[in-house]
A and B are shown apart, each in its own frame.
Chain A
């Protein structure tokens, strides 16, 4: 019987299955960061348990780390304690790799894993972070877990799971100029809603997906969770295999050929049945901008802030009214008329080299608008930063008036010093526009790196297609 990619990945990892379908799944890669792991390590110790296989662990400090003045260390004492706790825990139990604060390969865990070849096709990848779906770009079964499950994986190398339903989200056609994987993700969420994928494992397919680079695929899978799906993934092809080849933890020598032979099977078979199939036309997707406090509150750049009066469902209408009040926006305002205070280019969604190249191409030879208080570029990792500097992208950003920072999660969730002040409005390449996400009272509009760059230059949202 033809199988979906999800069926194949699932089957390859089942250790044991109960009669009710609850399965014990083997975990190949466990990514660890400082925020969601301390209580797990503590729990393990209190129970007198040892980690099952520390060579599955790749760890880094990313959420709390500052993005400037590294010579001063981590000045926030509570943040420093959390990062030092990770240092101590990894020192005690070990790991395949640890990239601590200031290490040249330190960075956002979802950037670091793939770029080091620690994320390989066909793996189960988990992390105490919802954006673990990112690794689905490699044909992985990858999802976020809570701290109890971090402890469970440390102790047993397994997770208890029930199979999700399957959804094929097919995007065929060709993306227009200035339209990116981020816009595909936001357009999908706008269509199906933030709970549209709940209970599903989403496979992204179709010609527009196949033509995305690995960076673009990671951006798309990263945002599967914003559509409610813990798992989002894409079949393995040459693009995947070429990306993996030669990376530090990629298979070597004879293992490489065997691995590739297996990886070539990681696609849904012709005729495989999904519980749900949705189709989008790539040609119809415009650059997207969110206007509210949920990623599903999104419109195209040439659109307007919607009017709650036109919404019939009372719960939705109230949600829209509350969002507009929080965002300080009036119904029917053209998106292009919304002025911004800050710009953030970074996060596990959009901080990879291709993202920085695309933003730099828009910025080159132009200046950040005088009304913009702060425009930040935060590379996803030390390696991304080095590569960007080799290409001179840092100089392009700095010349335009951007600040060029050290890697980390930064203003995506503002656990470090990078944040919005109450009432400030930000064009952000991150993944969540929830109330207070980028700082209490801050107002976030999610966009692609190109659109963030265009907004920085204009001082308000602008159609990048009219600039490039």
Chain B
């Protein structure tokens, strides 16, 4: 996993609540057995005017000019700004994979769905929760300012606006450490392999039916 320490990036606004993972990456692309290549199909049904299929050349497909990510000013965006309950629905990790493959390294929202939130951290994406009033202000600034960038400083736990205002955010200390160091969870857990073995042996005796 790539490290996440500090990010200064162009912001793209997706001004809707309850964006579900089916919208982030539709089901037909879940047939892939790879982790990469989902970026061109991120928000597929909103980005294109036709119905996408896996394995197709997306560069030739008709684009929806009204969809925010198709607007020239948001090309190269690395930070997605959105509303509450982002990533609800299916647990598909293809959703963070698609966001990352497209180029997003952080998502700022009023709230996130639990499974999506968790999946982000496993892929080096930082999901940031900010209060609704701060988001309203950010949406207004993004709309009004072409080339609007934010700086995210994970160590200090702040999002810094171009006008210098710093917006503090919470992040779980353990997850923060993993992101900053690019640590692999599995490697960390396996440091406790002896504890797991001991627990498992006790369990096998106490509740043998679980090990049939």
A residues lining the B interface (CB < 8 Å) = 15-16, 18, 20, 22, 24, 26, 28, 35-36, 38-39, 42, 47, 49, 52-53, 55, 63-64, 76, 78-79, 81-82, 85, 96, 120, 122-123, 128-130, 132, 143-149, 151-152, 155-158, 160, 162, 194-195, 198-199, 225-226, 228-230, 249-252, 255-256, 258-259, 262, 294, 315-316, 318-319, 322, 413-415, 422, 432, 434-437, 440-441
Contacts and interface: CB of A to CB of B under 8 A. Distances in A.
A162 B16 contact: no
Contacts of B111: 195, 198
A149 B45 contact: no
A434 B17 contact: no
B83 interface: yes
A39 B189 contact: no
Given A156-B186, A258-B207, 11 more contacts: A20-B173, A26-B203, A129-B91, A145-B115, A158-B189, A226-B89, A230-B114, A252-B212, A413-B90, A434-B20, A437-B22
Contacts of B188: 160
B113 to A, nearest CB: 6
A26 B23 contact: no
B207 to A, nearest CB: 7
B26 interface: yes
Interface in B1-33: 15-18, 20, 22-23, 26-28, 30-33
Q: How large is the interface on B (under 10, 10 to 19, 20 to 34, 35 or more residues)?
A: 35 or more
Contacts of B93: 36, 39, 128, 146-148
A192 to B, nearest CB: 12
Given A146-B122, A147-B93, A440-B45, A16 B17 contact: no
A195 B113 contact: yes
Given A315-B17, A432-B89, A255 B208 contact: yes
Task: With a 10 A CB-CB cut-off, give which of A18, A143, A250, A315 has the most chain B CB atoms.
Answer: A315
Contacts of B78: none
B33 A39 contact: yes
A28 B192 contact: no
Contacts of A63: 30
A413 B91 contact: no
Which A-B residue pairs are the 7 nearest by beta carbons? A251-B209, A146-B93, A148-B122, A146-B119, A144-B91, A38-B33, A130-B91
B189 A156 contact: yes
A147 B83 CA distance: 25
Given A36-B91, A432-B89, A152 B30 contact: no
A194 B18 contact: yes
B31 A82 contact: yes
Given A195-B111, A435-B45, A15 B91 contact: no
Contacts of A441: 51
B89 A434 contact: yes
Contacts of A39: 33-35, 93
A15 B193 CA distance: 10
Nearest to B187: A47
Nearest to A143: B115
Nearest to A132: B91
Contacts of B41: none
A209 to B, nearest CB: 23
A151 B119 CA distance: 12
19 contacts: A15-B196, A26-B199, A53-B200, A55-B211, A78-B31, A78-B55, A130-B89, A143-B115, A144-B115, A146-B96, A146-B115, A158-B196, A255-B208, A259-B207, A315-B15, A319-B16, A319-B17, A435-B22, A436-B45
A262 to B, nearest CB: 7
A155 B92 contact: no
B40 to A, nearest CB: 16
B210 interface: yes
Contacts of A434: 20, 22-23, 89
Nearest to B33: A38
Contact of B174 (A18, A52, A198): A18
A42 B96 CA distance: 18
A53 B197 CA distance: 11
Task: With a 10 A CB-CB cut-off, give which of A49, A129, A143, A434 has the most chain B CB atoms.
Answer: A434
B190 interface: yes
B118 interface: yes
B84 interface: yes
A52 B190 CA distance: 10
A130 B31 contact: no
B146 interface: no
Contacts of B203: 26
